[in-house]
């Protein structure tokens, strides 16, 4: 009798488990149908969700939490690629994950959207539009087109290419931030790190999915090689922004005096509130005597404890030759870590009237930012005011 009761209890338990399993399967099936019927809404929501998370969470390129967010996106994208391309149920008996695998495509899109928006935020902060615009335009197009790329995400060659591109783009600032160093060797190390990580991932993918043809494997290697070459060309052509360094502020003044640790008193022209051209886009230095000096004051952010050589390169536009002429180059050593950036200045005495520009660069003339202004001879000028910054 007791044995019969135990058997009935076990059968009831098995029936309950079967019922619960069917309920879960039905829920997953309904979710899949809803997602398929609302694909555009899901992709747009995934795209905006990644961008919204980045806007709310990403602050400084050297903070571990910020990098943890981007690394999390990378891990989600990698796992999603494995789930999309591997028969989980057949190899491991994980039926629930297998049935939910169509959602992995949207998870990959969310992860790549989050990575792209993070790169847009960090690379834009570090970029000088004058030289980095080709790289930034490609980055923006990928970012804005992410929610329309779902059909391409279904192809393994595109998935692995996107993953490697994201790995390389992140390594470019993660490696120097970690090692507290910048330079060509650090960039090369970033590329090697990306290749090694991608090699390990592909080994895992091929182990889980040995049926991948040699033709597809060759296409994957070709895409990775092309992305690697393009990144190197852009870097050594000074088109990739000098991340993790970024220009926070650059201004021209009539005088700059250091009054304490990270404290300065600057003298500038006082324009009326309605002189909007001077407040928004026009930079003019009114010179009234041969003893006048024009100062350029710049603030550059660098990760904590990072040290780098930075240069102010002064140039005057020669109207006779229609070319920029080098006037003076001022070098100083930057120490990173300050929220407002490392601040320093340089100046030229008795500047020649005409168009001027000061390029702020790192090693090998990698431009961080610049300012352009006109020097105008005059007997009078607007009043000068002092300000503590």
Instruction: At 110, give phi and psi (nearest 5°).
Output: -60, -45
Residue 233 CA to residue 230 CA, distance in Å, equals 5
Tens-place pLDDT, residues 286-334: 999 999 999 999 999 999 889 899 999 999 999 999 999 999 999 999 9
Q: How confident is the model at residue 5 (pLDDT cuts 50, 70, 90)?
A: very low
Residue 58, both tokens: 């990403």
Handedness of CA 219, 223, 226, 232 (dihedral sign): negative
Tens-place pLDDT, residues 61-106: 888 888 998 999 999 999 999 888 875 445 555 555 555 566 787 7
β-pairing, 284-287 with 367-377? parallel
Domains located in the chain, CATH noted: 38-236 (no CATH), 246-388 (2.60.40.1930)
Entry pTM: 0.79
Tens-place pLDDT, residues 134-148: 888 888 888 777 666
- Number of Cα atoms under 13 Å in the Cβ half of residue 12: 6
């Amino acid at each position: 009798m007791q044995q019969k009761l135990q058997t009935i209890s076990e059968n009831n338990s098995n029936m309950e488990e079967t019922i619960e399993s069917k309920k879960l399967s039905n829920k997953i099936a309904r979710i899949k149908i809803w997602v398929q019927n609302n694909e555009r809404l899901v992709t747009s929501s995934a795209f905006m969700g990644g961008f919204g998370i980045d806007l709310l969470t990403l602050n400084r390129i050297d903070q571990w939490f910020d990098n943890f967010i981007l690394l999390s996106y990378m891990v989600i994208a990698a796992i999603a690629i494995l789930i999309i391309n591997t028969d989980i149920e057949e190899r491991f008996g994980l039926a629930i994950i297998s049935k939910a695998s169509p959602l992995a495509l949207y998870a990959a899109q969310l992860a790549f959207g989050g990575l792209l928006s993070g790169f847009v935020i960090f690379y834009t902060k570090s970029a000088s539009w004058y030289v980095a615009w080709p790289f930034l335009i490609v980055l923006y197009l990928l970012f804005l087109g992410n929610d329309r790329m779902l059909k391409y995400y279904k192809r393994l060659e595109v998935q692995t290419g996107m993953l490697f591109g994201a790995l390389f783009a992140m390594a470019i600032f993660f490696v120097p931030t970690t090692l507290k160093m910048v330079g060509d060797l650090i960039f090369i190390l970033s590329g090697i790190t990306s290749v090694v990580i991608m090699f390990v991932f592909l080994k895992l993918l091929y182990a889980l999915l040995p049926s991948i043809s040699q033709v597809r494997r060759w296409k994957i290697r070709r895409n990775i090689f092309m992305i690697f070459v393009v990144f190197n060309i852009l870097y050594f052509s000074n088109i990739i922004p000098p991340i993790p360094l970024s220009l926070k502020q650059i201004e021209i003044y009539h005088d700059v005096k250091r009054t304490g640790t990270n404290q300065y008193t600057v003298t500038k022209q006082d324009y009326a509130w309605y002189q909007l051209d001077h407040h928004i886009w026009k930079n003019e230095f009114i010179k009234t005597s041969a003893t006048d000096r024009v100062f350029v004051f710049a603030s550059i952010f660098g990760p904590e404890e990072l040290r780098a050589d930075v240069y102010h390169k002064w140039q005057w536009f020669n109207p006779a030759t229609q070319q920029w002429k080098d006037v003076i180059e001022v070098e100083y050593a930057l120490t990173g870590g300050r929220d407002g950036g490392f601040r320093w200045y340089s100046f030229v005495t008795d500047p020649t009237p005409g168009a001027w520009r000061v390029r702020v660069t790192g090693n090998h003339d990698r431009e961080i930012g610049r300012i352009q202004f006109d020097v105008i001879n005059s007997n009078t000028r607007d009043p000068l005011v002092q300000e503590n910054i």
